């Protein structure tokens, strides 16, 4: 084939990472640990659509957010309906709760999700256009003890990964009763500043979003801006004090950050973010908060909820920054079979199949590699045990069992190979 007719090699889209072996072992460990910790706290799995009607995110996430105004992957399907690749998980969970009447049973409804989310951002380390998250949502009850549980769960999850170099930032964003008066005060302050048109529009729609402006000149101008934490009503203040008191009792350390503004409009009352200074400018590794009016806004009951989204990609980078490695992350199987000759290979395939049936991870060499090359394959697979079978062993009805950890070898009855391997792995 001429070079003119050859296809150019393809790459993944910009900002969409691949996780391939052996590094994918760490990614898998992080994601599964996050899910496992959620399940230990009584959260059940929910599988969400990759795309939803665009209106769900416009209404639920908030049109003033960068997520909706700048970052969503939105397109018309063949029926000319506007659909969007999910940029976050909470709105989809809430839609599912309403649609399937999960809020009509025992409350709170505790749900856990994991998977990819999509935002059209400028790709950089730890900030991707396809980002991986594990999230939880507890819906139906406004209880500060639930807020503390959710935050403690996230803290415990990061510690289960071995992370220690993170900190928790915490604040309260008030609610529908005290936020309107604060909103007026904040707008009065903002409209006295020399704002560009985009910032002015944002201040009109959701002035809290302006506080999140990272430009140095804006941060300087906002130095004396009124803060929500100073304008909480009695109920919201008591709610926040109960949350912080419970976190103190649980031994979860935190910093109060009165200027925190999360990237989504639906947050009320408790709001939190986990940051890791080892990641540079993109220091956030996860966060969440309470959302009192979201369900009603999406056509459901007026019930409260709280949840978080933890970044799997960010956690992997945080582990790298702390020099944390996952034991056996590169291991493929516990047992590796090496067969010499056609008859031995046929019999080895049956033994490997029996091991798998017994719940033991196993693989074998393929092709006509020599013993030395096949044993390299065993080492690369991270195997603890190698089984070697040749004409001599076939004739004797035995199989060589190599303990690759202790560097010992013995022969076992071929018919009892599974039992011999199981004993060795247990020991």
The overall average pLDDT reported for the chain is 91
Report the percentage of the chain scoring pLDDT > 70: 96
Neighbours of 101 (CB within 10 A): 9
Is 90 exceeded by the pLDDT of residue 405? yes
What sign does the dihedral 419-420-425-427 (CA atoms) show? positive
Q: Would you say residue 184 lies in a domain?
A: no
What is the token pair recorded at 360?
């033991």
For 74, the 3-state DSSP assignment is strand
Structural domains in the chain (count): 2
Q: Would you say residue 208 lies in a domain?
A: no
Q: Would you say residue 418 lies in a domain?
A: yes
Q: Would you state the pLDDT for residue 427?
A: 75
Same domain, 307 and 242: yes
Q: Would you say residue 272 lies in a domain?
A: yes
Same domain, 168 and 239: yes
For 307, the 3-state DSSP assignment is strand
With contact defined as beta carbons under 8 Å apart, do 215 and 202 qualify?
no
Same domain, 304 and 367: no
Same domain, 246 and 381: no
Same domain, 151 and 253: yes
Same domain, 317 and 372: no
With contact defined as beta carbons under 8 Å apart, do 136 and 111 qualify?
yes
Domain that holds residue 65: 24-178+232-321
Same domain, 243 and 105: yes
> Domain boundary residue among 321, 347, 363?
321
Same domain, 30 and 110: yes
Q: Would you state the pLDDT for residue 3?
A: 56
Cis peptide before 108 (omega within 30 of 0): yes
CA-nearest of 101, 92, 176 to 142 is 176
* CATH number (domain holding residue 347): 3.40.50.800
Q: Would you say residue 400 lies in a domain?
A: yes
Distance, CA of 416 to CA of 394 (rounded, Å): 14
Is 90 exceeded by the pLDDT of residue 214? no
* CATH number (domain holding residue 90): 3.30.930.10
Residues with Cβ within 8 Å of 6's Cβ and at least 6 positions away in sequence, in order, are: none
Distance, CA of 103 to CA of 278 (rounded, Å): 40
Same domain, 163 and 244: yes
Global pTM value: 0.90
Q: Would you say residue 134 lies in a domain?
A: yes
Q: Would you say residue 201 lies in a domain?
A: no
With contact defined as beta carbons under 8 Å apart, do 385 and 417 qualify?
no
The pLDDT tens digits of the residues spanning 268-319 come to 899 999 999 888 777 899 999 999 888 998 999 999 999 999 999 999 999 9
> Domain boundary residue among 287, 321, 355?
321
The pLDDT tens digits of the residues spanning 6-51 come to 778 999 999 899 999 988 999 999 999 999 999 999 999 999 999 9
Same domain, 289 and 371: no
CB crowding 382-408: b at 16 or more within 10 Å, else e? bbbbbbbbbeebbeeebbbbbebeeee
Same domain, 309 and 340: no
The pLDDT tens digits of the residues spanning 217-230 come to 888 898 889 999 99
Q: Would you state the pLDDT for residue 124?
A: 76
What is the token pair recorded at 409?
């070898």
Q: Would you state the pLDDT for residue 85?
A: 95
With contact defined as beta carbons under 8 Å apart, do 51 and 85 qualify?
yes
Q: Would you say residue 286 lies in a domain?
A: yes
Same domain, 276 and 367: no
Helices (H) and strands (E) in the chain, counts: 15, 16
The pLDDT tens digits of the residues spanning 366-381 come to 988 889 988 999 999 9
Q: Would you state the pLDDT for residue 262?
A: 65
Q: With 0-12 CB in 10 A as exposed, 13-18 as middle and 19+ as buried, what is 72?
A: buried
The pLDDT tens digits of the residues spanning 296-307 come to 989 999 999 999
Residues with Cβ within 8 Å of 302's Cβ and at least 6 positions away in sequence, in order, are: 293, 295, 296
Distance, CA of 226 to CA of 259 (rounded, Å): 10
> Domain boundary residue among 321, 353, 372?
321
């Amino acid at each position: 084939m001429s070079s003119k007719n050859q296809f150019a090699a393809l790459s993944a889209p910009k900002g969409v990472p691949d996780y391939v072996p052996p590094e994918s072992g760490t990614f898998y460990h992080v994601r599964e640990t996050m899910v496992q910790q959620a399940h230990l706290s009584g959260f059940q799995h929910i599988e969400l659509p990759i795309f939803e009607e665009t209106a769900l995110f416009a209404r639920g996430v908030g049109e003033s957010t960068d997520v909706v105004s700048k970052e969503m992957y939105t397109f018309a399907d063949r029926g000319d309906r506007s659909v969007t690749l999910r940029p976050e998980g909470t709105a989809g969970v809430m839609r599912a709760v309403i649609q399937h009447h999960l809020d009509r049973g025992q409350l709170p409804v505790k749900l856990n999700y994991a998977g990819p989310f999509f935002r059209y951002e400028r790709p950089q380390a730890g900030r991707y256009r396809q980002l991986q998250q594990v999230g939880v949502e507890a819906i139906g009850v406004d209880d500060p003890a639930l807020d503390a549980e959710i935050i403690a769960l996230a803290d415990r999850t990061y510690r289960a990964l071995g992370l220690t170099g993170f900190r928790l930032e915490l604040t309260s964003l008030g609610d529908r009763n005290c936020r309107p008066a604060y909103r007026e005060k904040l707008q009065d302050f903002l409209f006295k500043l020399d704002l560009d048109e985009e910032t002015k529009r944002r201040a009109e729609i959701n002035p809290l979003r302006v506080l999140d402006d990272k430009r140095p000149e804006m941060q300087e101008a906002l130095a004396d801006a009124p803060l929500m934490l100073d304008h909480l009503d009695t109920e919201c203040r008591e709610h926040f004090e109960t949350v912080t008191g419970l976190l103190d009792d649980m031994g979860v350390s935190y910093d109060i950050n009165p200027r925190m503004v999360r990237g989504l409009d639906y947050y009320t009352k408790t709001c939190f973010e986990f940051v890791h200074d080892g990641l540079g400018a993109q220091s956030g590794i996860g966060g969440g908060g309470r959302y009192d009016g979201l369900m009603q806004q999406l056509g459901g009951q007026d019930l409260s909820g709280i949840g978080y989204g933890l970044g799997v990609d960010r956690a992997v980078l945080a582990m790298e920054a702390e020099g944390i490695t996952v034991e056996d992350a590169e291991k493929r199987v516990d047992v590796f079979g090496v067969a010499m000759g056609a008859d031995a290979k046929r019999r080895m395939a049956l033994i490997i199949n029996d091991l798998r049936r017994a719940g033991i991870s196993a693989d074998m060499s393929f092709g006509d590699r020599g013993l030395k090359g096949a044993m390299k394959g065993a080492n690369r697979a991270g195997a603890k045990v190698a089984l070697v079978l040749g004409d001599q062993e076939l004739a004797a009805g035995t199989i060589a069992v190599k303990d690759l950890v202790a560097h010992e070898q013995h022969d076992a009855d071929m018919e009892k190979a599974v039992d011999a391997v199981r004993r060795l792995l247990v020991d």
